[in-house]
Each structure stands twice: as C-alpha cells, then as structure tokens.
C-alpha cells in the first residue's frame, strides 16, 4: 500500500525483519513527516509549545500548524543540513521571535490571547532538569563533568556496566530520593529506574519513562511549593549559596544584590531590597547569620522569577 506523496517502503526479503527498510523510509529525504515532527519537537522544547500544538499527533485529529510555511521551511533546511539539530537550534534562537520578551500588550491580548501567533515570549516553568541544575549552579555545587558510570554503578560497584548482576530486589531497596539529594552531577546524568522514580522528578512532571512523549505536563500544584520549602536538597543548597553570599561582602545591601543576581539574573527592585533588608535584620544575630541567609536564599529558589522563564 502506498501513500500519495510519500516514498515507497523498500522490499522486505524473506529472511529480513523489515527494520532496515522502515528506518530507511523514515529518514528518506522525500518523507516530509519525519523532518516536520522533529522540527516541531525542537520548537516545542524551545518555546514551550509546538508550531503544531499536538506534538504527538500530526494526524487528522491533531491541530493544524500555526505557521505552516515556517514549519515547511525549517523542515526543508533540516533535511538539507543532514538532520543537524545544532544548526536547527542555532537558526531558531537567532530569530527575532526567539528574542522577544514576555511583556503583555493590550492589543495582542485582544487579537491573540493564547499567543498562537507568537507576538511575545511564553511565560513558562523550567523543566526539572534545568531547575535542579540551576539550584546546584547557584550554590556552587554543580559538577559539570559526567560521573564515572551510572549512579547505580556507585550503589552496586560490582554489577558491571550493563547492570546484569543487579537484582530487582536490590534496586527496590535503593533510596533514590536520598541518592538524588546527595548527588551533585547534572540531572541529565542521573539514572532513571522505572519503579523507583525520585519524588522530585515526579513532582515536577518528569516524562513518564514507560511512554514516548513529545510534550510533558506543566502542572502547578501545592506539593511543589511544599517540596521547595521542606526538601533536604534545597535546604542544603541554600546553605551553600548563603555561604557564598556572606563571603562576598560585609554589606547587607551588597549581599542582597548579589543573591538576586545569582538567582534572578538582575538586581532587586528598591521595594524588594527594602523587604529583604528588613527580614535579614530581624533574623540576624551572632549565632543565626547563616540560618537567616539560608532561609532567604531558599525563598529565592522558590520564587517564580527563579522557576519560570520570562
């Protein structure tokens, strides 16, 4: 059976499974679907929503593209550059659309309240991987280099690189919440054990490891705020960050400015600086300085300005 406009699937020999032919069909330059799906997923990752909003559904029941000509142009370029994701990302992030701010305008809200036509940037929450990495970076604890083997290799040092000697009962006994709290490597290097997902990953909508998903959920629920207020991981990193702020200067004003630059990328407004100064002065004495600044850094970690892109 052939589909109009699509390449033919190669003949499958009597002693072949057909996987090679399917792979060749998928990456055939005359197959318009694969490149469009890939471009749309990269666009969704960068902008928070795809040019086709139903990222996992390009069929008749899915959404139409908001900018069909743009999708086709990027897909054609993707094929012409031999499927280079790096070149695709470079082209997108150098565009005016990517560099727009998230400021609201009355006219834009009137004509396109859902920002379907991308007249501003979308205000969106960081995924858990960059959020956890940012917490570690601010505290000065982030380890850039990949670990020597998987985290599970450290838990089961005699298991071998494929983990063939690790039994399910052994994995079930591993406290992944404790392991992820103690580990300082980038989140992308953390192992994903399907039946032992760390609580922080589940709370902040990590992709289901049992499914293929082009778009994650982006819930905002009370348990996320509770985690940021009570997590041993956030508490420990807040103390490390507070130590850096205290060592930076003896001036409260300079420390507050430093804390904001570390977490928000900008200096606080005069009113925010005044509130922070009043809080620190109320809390600090000779025995509680580190605790006061740790709590202040934890509040910045939990703020919308730190957790969301704008």
Q: List pLDDT tens digits, range 5-50.
A: 566 666 777 777 888 888 888 888 778 888 999 999 999 999 988 9
Residue 143 reports pLDDT greater than 70: yes
Q: What confidence category does residue 1 fall into, taking pLDDT thresholds of 50, 70 and 90?
A: very low
For the residues 191-219, what does the mean pLDDT come to?
A: 80
Torsion of CA 229, 232, 233, 238, to 10 degrees: 60
Phi-psi region of 275 (alpha: psi -120 to 50; beta: other; left: phi over 0): alpha
Quote the CA–CA distance of 57 and 40 in Å, as a whole number: 11
Give, as one character, the DSSP assignment of residue 30.
T
In tens, the pLDDT along 88-136 reads 999 999 999 999 988 888 888 999 998 988 999 988 888 889 999 999 9
Residue 152 is predicted with a pLDDT of 63
Model confidence pLDDT, tens digit, residues 146-164: 877 666 665 555 544 455 5
Q: What are phi and psi of 122, to 5 degrees?
A: -85, 135
| pLDDT attached to residue 69 | 95
CA dihedral sign, ordered 110, 112, 113, 115: negative
Specify the pTM.
0.79
Tokens at 141, concatenated: 């604890």
Q: How many Å apart are CA 273 and CA 251, to the nearest integer? A: 13
Residue 294 is predicted with a pLDDT of 94
The pLDDT score that the predictor gives to residue 213 is 79
User: What's the confidence (pLDDT) of residue 96?
Assistant: 94
Phi, psi of 232 (to 5 degrees): -60, -30
Among 43, 29, 91, 97, which Cα is nearest to 71's?
43
The span from the CA of 184 to the CA of 199, in Å, is 17
Confidence label for 218 from pLDDT (cuts 50, 70 and 90): confident
In whole angstroms, what is the distance from residue 111 CA to residue 93 CA?
25
């Amino acid at each position: 059976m052939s589909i109009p406009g699509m390449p033919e699937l190669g003949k499958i020999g009597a002693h072949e499974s057909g996987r090679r032919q399917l792979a060749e069909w998928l990456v055939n330059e005359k197959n318009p679907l694969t490149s469009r799906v890939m471009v749309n997923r990269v666009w969704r990752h960068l902008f928070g929503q795809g040019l086709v909003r139903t990222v996992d559904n390009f069929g008749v029941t899915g959404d139409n593209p908001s900018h069909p000509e743009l999708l086709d142009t990027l897909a054609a370029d993707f094929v012409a550059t031999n499927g280079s994701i790096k070149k695709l990302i470079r082209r997108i992030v150098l565009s005016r659309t990517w560099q727009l701010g998230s400021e609201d305008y009355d006219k834009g809200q009137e004509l396109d309240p859902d920002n379907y036509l991308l007249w501003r940037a979308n205000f969106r929450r960081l995924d858990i991987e960059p959020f956890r990495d940012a917490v570690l970076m601010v505290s000065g604890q982030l380890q850039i280099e990949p670990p020597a083997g998987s985290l599970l290799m450290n838990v089961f040092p005699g298991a071998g690189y494929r983990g063939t000697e690790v039994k399910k009962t052994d994995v079930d006994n591993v406290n992944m919440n404790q392991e992820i709290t103690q580990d300082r490597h980038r989140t992308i290097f953390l192992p994903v054990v399907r039946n032992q997902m760390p609580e922080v990953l589940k709370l902040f909508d990590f992709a289901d490891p049992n499914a293929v998903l082009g778009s994650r959920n982006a819930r905002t629920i009370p348990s996320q705020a509770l985690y940021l207020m009570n997590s041993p991981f956030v508490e420990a990193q807040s103390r490390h960050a507070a130590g850096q702020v205290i060592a930076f200067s003896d001036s409260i004003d300079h420390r507050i400015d430093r804390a904001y630059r570390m977490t928000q990328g900008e200096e606080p407004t005069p009113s925010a600086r005044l509130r922070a100064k009043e809080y620190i002065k109320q809390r600090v004495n000779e025995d509680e300085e580190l605790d006061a600044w740790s709590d202040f850094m934890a509040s910045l970690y939990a703020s919308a300005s730190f957790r969301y892109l704008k």
